[in-house]
Structure 1
Amino acid sequence: MTDQPLSPEPELPAPGGRHRPSVTVDRGRIPALRVRERVETILRTHDFSEAERAFGQLTPEDLVVVRVIAQEGAASGVEPPVRYAAIAALARHPSAANLNLLTDLARLGEDFYVRGHAVLALAHTGSYAHLGAVLAALEATEPFERAAAVKALRHLAAVTSEEAVRAHALALGGEEAMRRLDAALAAAGRQAAEARRGPRVTEADPGGPATS
């Protein structure tokens, strides 16, 4: 009797035998791994201006890896901020492949954080072509996703014009799309005005004198 399961297939001889010692591999000798590590280093850049500069210098070879990272979920082990940075970086290089991926993530991403970041990235391209995906996010159930859509529409209106965004929204979705857009821009305007005024101090506030 044997403890090994029997197989009807003949065992193929393996060079060096069935048991071989582990071999240390020089990571620097694997080109794809070097590219991946360089790209991840760029995506981990915390300084905004430095990140913008680095994103602009990504090569076509780098962008292949960026697209992979932008699609990697939690099971891959990639940190969420690195994935969100990859999504943002794709908007700086608006090729058909990058824009199609961003649209897919904005509409079909597996969670609202991914969809929200993709919506923002689409707006940062400054193009009306993907306005439909941004408008659709206004109807999302998650507050983060809706807030991202409002921020995206405000940015797109700022870099183009509000009139142009409204015209394209009307062409895309009719009066209902216009209603959602107008409500979103109005909400964004109120938020901006409140942010400029700063926190409101009241009698219940121990931090300062009462104001009306």
Structure 2
Amino acid sequence: MKKLYLILICGWFLYPPMLSHASLIEEKKCASCHRLTKKENEKKGPDLFYAGNKFKSPWLEKYLQNPVTLRKAGTIHNPGFLKGERENNHPSLSKEDAGKITQELMQMTLPDLPVEELPDPLNKGQKAKTKYEFERTFSCISCHQSLNLAGKPRGGISGPSLVDAGNRLQANWVAVWLKNPKTFSEKSRMPVYKMDDETRLRFTRFIMTLKNEGIR
């Protein structure tokens, strides 16, 4: 019996039990604002059950420590949606907690999500053409902000800002989202544009160039 007890004690120190980061998510009450599964009813915060498909982990970890406003008009589930700019009330987490929750969120992915084959990075001419289509043909900036030539944000606020999209979003998620936003959200207000695959993937590459290195 003593030998068994010693084995158990040694095992505890050599191989401590792994604590689930989900317990920290529960402690922080993330589910009160965000859907963690697709079966839940819509909530006021963005869905997190596909966070591992959508976000880049370095950005997510920084965001959780120092939240920035991505949806200045709020979401469709906020009572004040489109009634003026809103402050970001997301709590700031410690570096340790942000790291743990980021690890857990990056494991939340949709099964069988298609993997798109992206083209090579855009050359100068392709980027200029896509920028024109982004701003004029498809009028993306009517809902989303991006940086102008002077480095200042411009555009609509009904959708999330794309100012730092290249640091925030994964390219494959953007490509799938542009093809069919309802893959992720049945109630998405994002229109489904009639883009051929070449245009859609070129747009994805363009969005990946939208970066503001001053954002922390």
Flag whether TM exceeds 0.5 (same fold). no
TM-score, normalising length from structure 2?
A: 0.27
Structure with the higher fraction of residues in helix conformation: 1
TM-score, normalising length from structure 1?
A: 0.27
**Which one has more relative contact order, counting CA pairs under 8 Å at least 6 apart?**
2
